[in-house]
Amino acid sequence: MQTPLASRACAADSSFLAEATGTPRLPPAEDDEPSIEEALWRIFTRYADARRPDRLPSRQFLAFCRDCQLLRGKEDRAAAEVLVRTRLQGRQNHLTFVDFAEILAAFSQSIRKGEDAFRDVLLEHVLPLAKRRTVGPVDMTGDVANLLKRFRRPLDGAFARLGEKDLPAFLDFCRIKRLHEATGPGAASPLSIRAAGECYLAATRPGYRRMTRSMFDEALARLADAAYPSNITLPDKLRALLVQLWRSDGAPQPGSPRKGDDLARAVVDMWRGDDYRDYLAVGGAVASGVPALERLSPARQSPGVRRVH
């Protein structure tokens, strides 16, 4: 539902946000900056639930307002609380990104007058002062692009099984495939579900609350980059993650894939072509075969199996 108050101020460079709030009056971003919509998405997800970063607990909207110096007194706080309660209307106590944008647009009108109230609040308070997620680049060119192209068809099946292709579906996929545990020796800690959610958020765009096929590839590359030590190249990290994908399907050691299993066949062909090398090894002797598999996928080690270093 679009509110009349939100109908006069939103991003010319952000069709999704403009549709949500009906306000086409924000300036376009500079070439080297995220769009207004992308900046708001990073802010929204920074204040959101740590385990469900697509949901903002209602109390966090007030924390966001405090950080942005939008609460000048009790009246402003009460106005914000009323807008949140009205928007929720008995639903679960969290806001979606559209809820957040709508409430912010309406609240802007209560503290500023004029058709540019939302614009002014964003430029003078929200964008300079709000906390936000930082999103680093990931190199999707070169060997990474070639590897993903080689695995295009095998990964199509994994993508198809995502169902809704939203954040909960992606996190379920990570749990089932144990990708959130796909960490090698030398990593600070296992890749958490929160970190997996961060990879999803970094790969998706605010206008797409469902993951596309190309976003899925980027999310896998980001998962691999986050899961394994920084001294490993990204292509080898991605290869190790693909081995983890295969291992999670029950392949205990290098061997013949099950009939019709495109992913298993592609992983085995890749690994065989690399002489079953340890993709996480840097210098020293190169492990191969089952020991390398245990190192590449330590989360699935059998009791008593020593991790190879």
Q: 3-class SS at 56?
A: strand
Indicate the residue type of 214. S
Quick: pLDDT tens for 275-309. 888 888 765 444 445 555 555 554 444 333 333 33
E strands, 10-140, are 56-57, 94-95
Mean pLDDT of 187-203: 72
User: Does position 233 have pLDDT exceeding 90, yes or no?
Assistant: yes
Burial annotation 81-100 (CB, 10 A radius, 16+ → b, else e): eebbeebeeeeeebbbbbbb
CA dist 76 and 129 (Å) reads 18
Burial annotation 110-119 (CB, 10 A radius, 16+ → b, else e): bbbeeebbbb
Taking each helix axis as running N to C, give the angle between helix 262-273 and helix 152-160, from 0 to 180 degrees, rounded to the nearest 10: 140
The reported pLDDT for the residue numbered 18 is: 55
> 51 falls in which pLDDT band (50, 70, 90)?
confident
Specify burial of residue 299 (Cβ count, 10 A radius: 0-12, 13-18, 19+): middle
> 188 falls in which pLDDT band (50, 70, 90)?
very low
Q: 3-class SS at 45?
A: helix
Indicate the residue type of 192. S
User: Does position 181 have pLDDT exceeding 70, yes or no?
Assistant: no
The reported pLDDT for the residue numbered 81 is: 94
Asked which of 78-87, 94-103, 177-186, 188-197 is least confident by mean pLDDT, the reply is 177-186
Quick: pLDDT tens for 70-87. 999 999 999 999 999 999
> 261 falls in which pLDDT band (50, 70, 90)?
low
Arithmetic mean of pLDDT over the chain = 76
Report the first-to-last Cα separation within the chain, whole angstroms.
Answer: 56
The reported pLDDT for the residue numbered 287 is: 45
> Longest C-alpha distance within the chain, in Å?
70
The reported pLDDT for the residue numbered 5 is: 32
* Residue 30 phi, psi (nearest 5): -70, 160
Contacting residues for 267 by C-beta, under 8 A, at least 6 apart: 154, 242, 243, 245, 246, 251, 257
CATH fold for the domain made of 4-129? Recoverin; domain 1 (1.10.238)
CA dist 44 and 36 (Å) reads 12
Contacting residues for 258 by C-beta, under 8 A, at least 6 apart: 264
> 182 falls in which pLDDT band (50, 70, 90)?
low
As beta bridge partners, residue 95 has: 56
Q: List the structure tokens of 225.
A: 């980059």
Mean pLDDT of 122-143: 91
Domain boundaries, the chain: 4-129, 142-300
Quick: pLDDT tens for 6-24. 333 333 334 445 554 555 4
Judge whether 200 and 170 are in contact, CB under 8 Å: yes
Q: 3-class SS at 253?
A: coil
Quick: pLDDT tens for 84-132. 999 988 777 889 888 999 999 999 999 998 888 998 999 999 999 999 8
